[in-house]
Amino acid sequence: MRVSSRRIMLALIFWLICFLLLPPLLTSASPTQTHPDQQLRLPSADYLLGTDYLGRDIWSRLLYGGQNTLLQAGLSTFIAMTIGSALGIVSAISRSIVDRLLVALINAMLAIPGLLLALVLLTLLGRGSGALIAAIGITQIAPVALIVRTATQQVLLTDYMLASYAMGATSWHRVRVHVLRMLTPLLLTYGLVVFGYAIMNGAALAFLGFQSPGTADWGVMLAEARNSFRLTPWPALPPGLAIIVTMMLLNRIVTQRDKHTNG
């Protein structure tokens, strides 16, 4: 049952590459081209995973949908991680007033549950990929900042830092380099967590109608599959399974990394 974390990591990387880079190699069909006379076909040689209610090729939509979904989640994660860690580190190493203000701000953002905060932001941002990336990214800033702040405080208390303080040899530059080096494993692990959230929330919001209709996107595919669910539930299966596999891989890695870092 136990699989080494390196193997799972490799599996995840392979999985991500399949969707991010390989779609043009794996299919020649367009993910958006409709075929009104080929609706709801089951898998066949022509359509590897069948077609949906507009006769679009599900295999192609799955691949390009993965590209969109994962890229979008990656960008949200980037926003959350950069802004979040910057706020967290600044808060941890600044004097009490700035720290207090930042903590208050972080707490205020945390007081509204994730998906609801994203909804509030979407009231302002409207719809489409850009709005979703921003809303989901911003939503995760506060949790990232909080975790990075705590971790930074711990790093600053380590013997090494205390020693360099004592020797008077500490420069800003050194603090930065050292803190960042110590934080890297945590940031990587937590980045994967945020990435998972971003996939789930992005697909959820796409499902709720905040993505342009017809886009190749796993959440949109799931939402559209409902339109033909009574005739055939088949089109709901591939995007659902794709999300599940991605999340399983991510969660497995996070759990194992946690074990390594904690003991």
Residues lying near another protein in the complex (CB under 8 A): 1, 32-34, 36-37, 39, 53-55, 104-105, 107-116, 119-124, 126-127, 200, 203-204, 207-209, 212-214, 222-223, 225-231, 233, 236, 240, 243-244, 247-248, 251-252, 255
Q: Which of 71, 208 has the CB closer to another protein?
A: 208
Q: Which of 53, 78 has the CB closer to another protein?
A: 53
CB of 178 to another protein, least distance (A): 30
Q: Which of 90, 208 has the CB closer to another protein?
A: 208
Backbone angles phi, psi at 50, to 5 degrees: 80, -170
CB of 177 to another protein, least distance (A): 33
All residues at 6 or more sequence positions from 214 whose CB lies less than 8 Å from its CB, including other chains: 32, 220
Q: How far apart are CA 209 and CA 122, in angstroms?
A: 11
Q: Which of 181, 259 has the CB closer to another protein?
A: 259
Q: How far apart are CA 249 and CA 238, in angstroms?
A: 17
Q: Which of 177, 245 has the CB closer to another protein?
A: 245
Q: Which of 184, 212 has the CB closer to another protein?
A: 212
| ∠ CA 165-171-176, rounded to 5° | 100
CB of 238 to another protein, least distance (A): 11
Backbone angles phi, psi at 51, to 5 degrees: -130, 160
233, 50 in Cβ contact below 8 A? Answer: no
CB of 189 to another protein, least distance (A): 15
Q: Is 214 helix (H, G, I), strand (E, B) or coil?
A: coil
Q: Which of 56, 175 has the CB closer to another protein?
A: 56
Backbone angles phi, psi at 22, to 5 degrees: -90, -10
CB of 201 to another protein, least distance (A): 8
Nearest to 194 by CA among 262, 248, 141, 237: 141
CB of 57 to another protein, least distance (A): 13
144, 195 in Cβ contact below 8 A? Answer: no
56, 238 in Cβ contact below 8 A? Answer: no
CB of 118 to another protein, least distance (A): 9
Place of tokens 């900042």: 145
207, 201 in Cβ contact below 8 A? Answer: no
